[in-house]
Amino acid sequence: AQSVAQPEDQVNVAEGNPLTVKCTYSVSGNPYLFWYVQYPNRGLQFLLKYITGDNLVKGSYGFEAEFNKSQTSFHLKKPSALVSDSALYFCAVIYSGGYQKVTFGTGTKLQVIP
């Protein structure tokens, strides 16, 4: 079975400060990992993904994520937060073997304070 955990329901950060949104995963093989963002009453938008290769993945809107196999983590980061980054963020994992069922985390609400 595969699973993904986002341990923080909400993260508050001051505008201009670095932000981190945490994600840990559990799969029996190699994972495909994704981050999505959701604004109120909208669908999810893809931010970035890790399939293989460099552990630091760069994505849209200045976001990046670091894959850490030993800690089974895939934390989302941004060097300088903007108020417009305030949204709901979802981590997702797909097991690379068998049928490619995607599992989403429960989401983390990011609040950037002006």
Partner 1 sequence: DGGITQSPKYLFRKEGQNVTLSCEQNLNHDAMYWYRQDPGQGLRLIYYSQIVNDFQKGDIAEGYSVSREKKESFPLTVTSAQKNPTAFYLCASSKTGRTEAFFGQGTRLTVV
Residues at the interface with partner 1 (CB under 8 A): 9, 32, 34, 36, 41-46, 49, 90, 94, 96, 99-102, 104-107
Q: Which is nearer to partner 1, 93 or 112 (CB)?
A: 93
| In 15-107, beta strands by DSSP E | 19-21, 24-26, 31-38, 44-50, 56-58, 64-68, 73-78, 87-95, 102-104
Measured from the CB of residue 42, what is the shortest distance to partner 1 in angstroms? Answer: 6
**From CA 33, how far away is CA 37, in angstroms rounded?**
14
- Token pair of 94 as six digits: 């797909």
**Is 34 or 74 the residue whose CB approaches partner 1 more closely?**
34
Q: Nearest approach, Cβ of 65 to partner 1 (angstroms)?
A: 13
- DSSP classification of residue 60: G
Of residues 3 and 18, the one with the C-beta less far from partner 1? 3
Min CB(70)–partner 1 separation in Å: 23
Nearer to partner 1, 101 or 114 (CB): 101
Task: Tell the smallest beta-carbon distance from residue 90 to partner 1 (Å).
Answer: 7
**C-beta of residue 108 within 8 angstroms of C-beta of residue 41:** no
- Cβ distance 49 to 34 under 8 Å? yes
